[in-house]
Amino acid sequence: MGNEHRLLTLVVCLVLGGGLLAAVLGASRAAGSRAHTSAGSGAAVEYVDIRDVPPGPAEPRTAGPDASTGTVTVECGRNEEGHYNEDNLVVSPGLTAGAHHTHAYVGNLSTTALSTDATLAAAPTSCRGGDRSTYYWPVLRRTDRAGGGAHESSAGHGNAGAILAEEAVGVEFRGNPVGKVVPMPRFLRGMTGDAVAFTAASDADVRARWGCSGSPGRSTTRYPRCPAGERLTRTLVFPSCWNGLDTQSAGHRSHLAFPAANGVCPTGTFPVPELRLSLAYEVPPEVPLALDSFPEQRHSAKTDHAMFVNAMTDRQMQGVVDCLNEGRHCRI
């Protein structure tokens, strides 16, 4: 009877243990279908189902009596011209291919690392209203397809795959919820985001937010998986508090700062129009993605960033400021 009892106990344990194991594996597979990390080819690419991302806080702040509540949309297309290069006029001017990854552009059609204020001012533009500013960001690729092109020598730095063309690009300026904005100086350089966020000591400079067109209240710093029929989105907001003196600075950040959550600019700075770039892509389900980056940044979505150079004429910029300060909604 002792042996029979031990045999029965063993069978029960195996049955129950197998059920528990199956349940654990099933839960693991379900979680894996919602969020996972692709570690192949040296990547650190994290995906998350947008439905698993909690809604974020509502847009800040109640507008004060002196708020500049207008908006200005600059219609610059979506890079139909195929303007790409590996340059970065803001961060590494004069150094051809200094970015070590590919940028996509709208606006000024001449922008390279060798551009000057004079060449920008004289160049053609993709913006309908004649804004010659340059707006640019690292390309997004699908790594299950081969890339190629005159601008693609960065593939040697680990940026490979077919570039995903933007289906929509939004260039928008907003005001300030506390007070009136002042004009940006011509040829002001600006940047947002952190191209080295994967290896940085903190996420303090991580600014880009990823999302899906059908869930505007949800955003993440990972690559989102969107429901069928929705577009993947990237939103990049630039600092909008200017020190009143410089158009650029060492490190490319100290002449511009972000306002506090309530919209107040740091002491010694003045609110200028807030630039927002909004990018949207058609991405088939489960397609592997990689943002162009430096090799050690391993294509992390946290490293998303963007740059711009304001080449509007003084008259054009004053029109933007007037629209924002008067609470109107304008398109140029």
pLDDT in single tens digits along all 332 residues of the chain: 444 444 444 433 443 444 433 443 333 333 433 445 553 444 468 999 999 999 987 765 567 889 999 999 999 999 999 999 999 999 999 999 999 999 999 999 999 999 999 999 999 999 999 999 999 999 999 999 988 665 666 555 789 999 999 999 999 999 999 999 999 999 999 999 999 999 999 999 999 999 999 999 999 999 999 999 999 999 999 999 999 999 999 888 999 999 999 999 999 999 999 999 999 999 998 999 999 999 999 999 999 999 999 999 999 999 999 999 999 999 99
Pick the closest to residue 104 from 311, 291, 297 (CA basis): 291
Q: Are 252 and 193 in contact (CB under 8 A)?
A: no
Compute the distance between CA of residue 285 and CA of residue 263 in angstroms, rounded to an integer: 38
Provide the sign of the torsion angle of the four alpha carbons 314, 275, 268, 176, taken in this order.
positive
Pick the closest to residue 103 from 122, 81, 88, 119 (CA basis): 88
Q: Are 183 and 199 in contact (CB under 8 A)?
A: no
